[in-house]
Structure 1
Amino acid sequence: MTTATASWSDKLVFLLGVNTGFVTDGEPDARYVDFYSQRSSADLHCAIVGNVVVPGGHASNRSTPSIGSNPIWAHLAGAIRERGSLPGIQLATTWEGYEGARKFRSADTAQVIGRAREFVRSLGRQGADRVLDYFGAAAAIAIEHGFSHVQVHAAHGYLLNLLVDERINPAASQVEDRLGRLAEWLRAQGVESSIRVSMRTGDIQFDASGASAFQDRIAALPFDFIDLSSGFYNVDKRLIYPARPEITIARFRDSIDVAQRHPTRRFIVSGRIAQRTSELPQNAHIGFCRDLIANPRFLVEPENGCRNHGKCHYYSRGGEHVTCPRWSETGG
């Protein structure tokens, strides 16, 4: 056992949701199943299948799957469970006309926030309720397919992120109430749950006011885990996919601050933290993404992970699906 893996012994480890792009006609294909099966094991608590669109929702790009009746979903959940991990699914939606930025940093971040407020205002209470109904329906479908962990994606500037932040949506407390009831319903079904949230957007002026209060409101929701991410996709993707030292350090510091403010709640902390897991408080668990993308055996080869080649950012590079130059070395 290495020093790194020894520090994970009292932690749960998650493969965080990633939009692989391995779809055919909007449905997961064999590549999709293989990707998650290869990375699942008894060393991994939960493999969360990433960025799955809810019924009635909208995809973030054309390579994003939508959950439905296709038996491939049950096959996927079974393949993950057979390898020893809990099958999880991350449910998400954007909105009609959404287009993810190709560049990593927007030149008009204030306009992104302004347009978000305008869109939420146009959606209204009935529109917001309809979106939350979609998430409830998707969760029920996921359970029928055999998923045992359901995550709602309220991060990265996607629709639920806008609805649950009172700085963008004045009626956010009503959304929180609905999400709380969904979390309680999932618990009653015997299903583990989590919510993914962006601690910051990347717009400095917006983040300077109310960020801690927003984080605290999310931490109070009755999900089993709060998955701490950062960044809005159309503001600053560098926060979502931290690579530069100053960004990884800031995200880690923010994560620890949130976890320490809420010692009775459980958090998932990520963002290139493989060598810093010994610094996590007791209530903070571990999320890996790019390291496991690069090397399916990363949990038993913790020194052999991501090398920051950047090829996994397929959408930003104009590609159709995730890839990594390391796969020829690791069998990924």
Structure 2
Amino acid sequence: MSDIVTSSDRRTFFLGVNTGYVTADLPDDRFVEFYESRASPQLHCAIVGNVVVPGGFGSNAATPTLTDNVIWEQVAKAIAAQGSVPGIQLATAWEGYEGSRKFVGLAGDQVINTARALVHTMGRGGIGDILDAFDSAAEMARNHGYGHVQVHAAHGYFLSLLVDARIYAEAEHVLDRLAAMATRLAADGCESSIRISLKTGDTEFDADGREEFQDRIAALPFDFFDLSSGFYNIDKRLIYPSLSHIRSDRLAESLSVAARHPAKAFILSGRAAHVAPDALPLNVHIGLCRDLIANPNFLTDPAHGCCGKNKCHYFSRGAEHLTCALWEREPMHLVRREASGDRA
């Protein structure tokens, strides 16, 4: 495999992942080491994943919460010291949320109907409190030194319900609030992005209005649009596409969105490292996750990435934190390879 990046205009991102490396809802030493070892000058931005906004709710018991604690500044400095922009992904679920441990979960219409009932019950006041929390978290992240802020509006978490008019009738109000946040971040010299699901996994729901939803999101003033897919409690195979036909469908849909919006910048994920760079338009950037989990030096050693053992899906397996089958042969405390690519 050739180098991942072939154009100086194409950027590579380490996309948000929930590692489970937390103690008392805060990052611990394992968390810092995980991101520090994967940041490098070859990686534009390392986005610390699935961080709960103040007053929000985690997707599981091992999800970190953003606070004023100095550990968040230490994470940002560790990433920046290795040559990458420190990024942070802001998210929340809701009280009582439970993620499915099965890859194919509940019936899609059941999940969608429950989502509609939830946002109706919350009311505009409760939803306004959540949006205020995202605004506060973005400011807090900037104060901690993060140069990229991503809002997580994918996978069936709370914000993904609010940005979709097919679920929340007043979605335009939410989109206006997010647009204002992106504008403020840009004025402060900070990159921004939004992660969305191209589809939920419920066939009937996805058949009606999917492109209109995608196009409305693409009209927002974020710097990047991170294109994921799937709702966690409907079909996780869309989020973590190991099957070739799911990967090809996701690639085709991602490229279709990018083609409709040539002036906007998109992040392609779903084993994006295995897509030939010359097949991608210049407004599509590379998002990596599993390959960099498996090999912190993947950008200089792309022949050795994820081998599909699925131990990184720790929540689905009933484990407490992320592991990788490759770490059974190598300690996690990897020494960064020199430019020659030799192992330490």
TM-score by length of 1: 0.98
Inter-CA distance 288–314: structure 2 relative to 1 (3 Å threshold)? same
Name the structure 2 match of 1:317: 317
- In 2, Cα distance between equivalents of 1:6 and 1:31: 28
Q: Residues 9-20 of structure 1: matches in 2 within 5 Å? A: 9-20=8-19
User: CA separation in 1, counterparts of 2:45 and 2:5?
Assistant: 19
SS in 1 for 2:174: helix
Q: Is the 8 A contact 1:4 1:275 kept in 2?
A: no
1:114-125 map, 5 Å: 114-125=113-124
Match of 1:218? Answer: 217
Counterpart for residue 58 of structure 2: 59
- SS of aligned partner of 2:273: coil
Write the letter of the residue equivalent to 1:175. V
Offset at 1:328?
Answer: 4.0
8 Å Cα contact 1:89-1:150 kept in structure 2: yes
Q: Which residue of 2 aligns with 1:129?
A: 128
Answering whether residue 153 of structure 2 is matched by residue 154 of structure 1, we say yes
Tell me the equivalent position of 1:33.
32
Structure 1's 331 and 11: CA in aligned 2 closer, same or farther, altered over 3 A?
farther
Aligned length in residues: 331
Aligned-pair CA distance for 1:102:
0.5
**Structure 1 residues without counterparts, runs of 5 or longer:** none
Quote the Cα distance in structure 1 between the aligned partners of 2:75 and 2:53: 17
Deviation at 1:275, TM superposition (A): 2.3
Please name the residue that 2:336 is paired with.
none
| TM-aligned CA deviation for residue 274 of structure 1 | 1.2
SS in 1 for 2:274: coil
The offset of 1:253, in angstroms, is 0.5
1:1-332 aligned at under 5 Å gives the runs 3-5=2-4, 7=6, 9-276=8-275, 277-329=277-329, 331-332=331-332
Letter aligned with residue 176 of structure 2 = D
Instruction: Indicate if the aligned counterparts of 1:295 and 1:330 stay in contact, CA closer than 8 A.
Output: no
Please say if residues 116 and 168 of structure 1, whose CA atoms lie closer than 8 Å, have aligned partners that are also in contact.
yes
Q: Distance in 2 between matches of 1:175 and 1:34?
A: 36
- Give me the whole-angstrom Cα distance separating, in 2, the residues matched to 1:250 and 1:32: 33
The residue matched to 1:3 in structure 2 has which SS?
Answer: coil
Looking at structure 2, the residues matched to 331 and 46 of structure 1 have their Cα atoms a distance apart, in angstroms, of 25
- Structure 1 counterpart of 2:320, which letter? E
8 Å contact kept, 2:3–2:299:
no
Offset, 1:9: 4.5
**Secondary structure in 2 matching 1:326:** helix
Q: Which amino acid aligns with 1:198?
A: S
| Alpha-carbon contact 2:3-2:300 (below 8 Å) kept | no
Q: Which amino acid aligns with 1:311?
A: K
Any conservation in 1 of the 2:152–2:160 contact (CA below 8 Å)? yes
Stretches of structure 2 that go unaligned for 5 or more consecutive residues are 333-344
Q: Compute the RMSD of aligned alpha carbons.
A: 1.1
TM-superposition CA deviations, 1:39-68 (whole Å, max 9, x none): 000000000000000001000000001000
Is contact 2:5–2:12 with CA below 8 Å preserved after alignment?
Answer: no
Matched AA of 1:13: T
Alpha-carbon offset, residue 218 of structure 1:
0.4
The letter for the 2-side match of 1:63 is A
Q: What is the percent sequence identity of the aligned residues? A: 57
Give yes or no for contact 2:90–2:151 (8 Å, CA) kept in 1: yes
Determine if contact 1:91/1:153 at 8 Å carries over to the other structure.
yes
Distance in 1, Cα, partners of 2:278 & 2:317: 35
